[in-house]
Structure 1
Amino acid sequence: MSLSLNDLENGRRIAALVVRYCGEKYFPLFDRFDREVRERASAADRIEAALGGETPAKPGKRRRP
């Protein structure tokens, strides 16, 4: 099963809350989510750069001329 970037960002937020309220021993959980989010975001940025910075409009949002 593959998780979306949004799923990973939500997991990272939850993991951060776990660390805050349950202690530093859970930091490795947060760290794993954080590294995966960074890697995925970096990969997406690299692909966009290779395409000349063309970013498709997000659903429900239109660009103004």
Structure 2
Amino acid sequence: MKEEKYVSPQERLGQLQSERARALAELILSRDSGDVKYTGGAENQTWEDVEKMEAEDQGKD
């Protein structure tokens, strides 16, 4: 079992290639920081959703 190093949400955001995944990640970050009241439907989204969206978009190339 390899050890996973911690990657901050901002670093993860910077690694995303997909525009959709990046937009969702930005909503999650603003929601989690408490900055934004309206999250555009991302109230229940997680980083797993971001990663799934990123993988889907990478497969479309």
TM band (smaller chain):
0.3 to 0.5
Q: RCO higher in 1 or 2 (8 Å CA, sep ≥ 6)?
A: 2
| TM-score normalised by the chain length of structure 1 | 0.33
| TM-score normalised by the chain length of structure 2 | 0.34
Greater Rg by CA: 1
Q: Which structure is higher in helix share?
A: 1
